[in-house]
Amino acid sequence: MIKWGGLFWMAYGDWTGICFATSEDGKRFERVIQPDGRTEAFSEGPESNTRDAMLIHIGGLWHGYYTAVRGEHGYGYCRTSRDLREWSPSCMVSYGGQVGGGKWNNECPHVVEVMSGGFVYFRNESYGEGQRNWQYWSKNPLDFGIDNDAGLLGSLPVAAPEIVKDRDNYYIAVLNSTLDGIRMARLRWKPLGK
C-alpha cells in the first residue's frame, strides 16, 4: 500500500491478475473498476497465478513488481505507470540462477532503492522450516538477473520480507517460521565488501 495523489492505493493479486483498491483514510477501501468492468488491471494470462504485488516510485514512474507462474516456472515481473491506472507491457526482471526456476522460486518480490540509482531485489524461495529469501543488486530496476547471478548478494533464513523506511531508519518485517505472525527488526545497509 502506498499514499499518492491524496489517496491510499493498495495493490493486490486475485490469483489471476493484479488489482487495485483506493481509500481516503487508509481503512475503508473501494476496488478500482477498470473500463471493461473488471477489477483486474493486468495479468500474465490465464492460469498464471499473477500475485504478490508491490509498488515503488522510481524516476518519475511507479514500478509495480509481482510474480507469476508460466508452465512450471516462477518469474519476477515489473510494469510501470505514471498514474497507477495505465500500465506498460510487462518486463521480466528476475528468473532462475542459483535459486532455480521452479514454480515457487520467485515469490513475494520486494524492491528497495538503498542508494540513489542502486536497488536490491528480495526474492523468496521457501516458507516455514528452512525458509529462504535471496537478494540481488542492480543499478537497473528492470534487471535483477535472468538466468544469471551477477548481482547476487546472498540469502537470509527469512520468508516474505518487506522493508519499511521511517525517516532515516529501515526495518525488515518477515513471517515467523511457524507462519503464525510477523516479526520486525532494525535493518542497516552497509557497502559491498565491508
**Domain ranges (residues) in the chain:** 2-187
Please report, rounded to a whole number, the percentage of residues in the chain having pLDDT higher than 90.
Answer: 94
Tell me which residue of 175, 165, 170 sits closest to 124, measured CA to CA: 175
The topology (CATH level 3) of 2-187 is: Tachylectin-2; Chain A (2.115.10)
The residues, any chain, with a CB within 8 Å of residue 86's CB and separated by 6 or more, are: none
Work out the average pLDDT over 110-114: 96
DSSP state, 88? Answer: P
The residues, any chain, with a CB within 8 Å of residue 188's CB and separated by 6 or more, are: 170
* Residue 190 confidence (pLDDT): 86
State yes or no: pLDDT of 192 exceeds 80: no
97 phi/psi in degrees, rounded to 5: 70, -160
Number of neighbouring beta carbons within 10 Å of residue 49:
18
Q: Quick one: residue 37, left, alpha or beta (phi over 0 = left, psi -120 to 50 = alpha)? A: left
State yes or no: pLDDT of 118 exceeds 70: yes
- The three three-digit cell numbers of residue 5, written as one number: 495523489
Task: Name the pTM for this structure.
Answer: 0.95
Expressed in angstroms, the distance from the first to the final Cα of the chain is 33
State yes or no: pLDDT of 194 exceeds 80: no
Beta bridge partners of 121: 111, 136
171 phi/psi in degrees, rounded to 5: -135, 150
pLDDT in tens, 123-156: 999 999 899 999 999 999 999 999 999 999 999 9
Helices (H) then strands (E): counts for the chain: 0, 16
Length of the chain counted residue by residue: 194
